Amino acid sequence: MLVTPEYNRGVSAPLKNALDYLYAEWAYKPVGFVSYGMTSAGLRAAEMIKPVLTALRMVPVPDGVSIRLRQRLDAQGILAPDEVMAEAADDVLAELHLLAATLRPLRLRRAHTLDAVAS
Ligand SMILES: Cc1cc2nc3c(=O)[nH]c(=O)nc-3n(C[C@H](O)[C@H](O)[C@H](O)COP(=O)(O)O)c2cc1C
């Protein structure tokens, strides 16, 4: 699960940097998002990064947890989760669980290939 804010309608530089830096380790991992932003719930950032994820051979799940901070922060600035967020989290985790098992053979094959290249 990746957690991302949205800045200027786009993805944050630290997330892109983390994806680029690790590179091979991401292959065949399923990925879901918890996205947040003041107005857009971070949805534009989560959508924007998807071509990068697929280039890294990650498998994004279609749904995610999206948090519109303007509505969900209380007077102290503390996040006040609601049932919709909890249900969305359950759905994403269930989907990730399913895909993680399905993609496992591909991750193992990839790890063996990388080991062989390194040795
Ligand atoms: C320069 C700037 C640009 C922002 N742009 C957006 C935006 O395009 N969409 C949005 O929903 N929130 C936007 N926000 C609000 C941030 O998403 C919000 O402050 C969030 O808490 C930032 O996450 P962080 O504190 O974990 O870095 C922006 C905030 C700043 C300071």
Q: Is residue 54 part of a domain?
A: yes
Are 6 and 40 in contact, with CB atoms under 8 Å apart?
yes
Q: What residue has token string 């697929």?
A: 54
Residue whose CA is at the smallest distance from ligand 1 atom 31 = 7
In a domain, 99, yes or no: yes
Dig out the tokens for 58 from the structure: 């990650």
Whether the CB of 97 sits within 6 Å of ligand 1: no
Taking only the tens place, the pLDDT of each residue in 100-117 is 999 999 999 988 888 888
Task: Answer yes or no: is 119 within a domain.
Answer: no
pTM value?
Answer: 0.91
Domain enclosing residue 80, as ranges = 2-113
Q: Is residue 118 part of a domain?
A: no
Any ligand 1 atom below 6 A from CB of 37: yes
Residue 65 belongs to a domain = yes
The pLDDT, as a whole number, for residue 104 is 97
pLDDT at residue 21 above 90? yes
Provide the number of structural domains found in the chain.
1
| Cβ of 113 less than 6 Å from ligand 1 | no
Residue 12 lies in a domain: yes
Check which CATH number belongs to the domain holding 52 and give it. 3.40.50.360
Is position 32 within any domain? Answer: yes
SS3 assignment, position 5:
strand
- The closest alpha carbon to 88, from 52, 26, 18, 35, belongs to 35
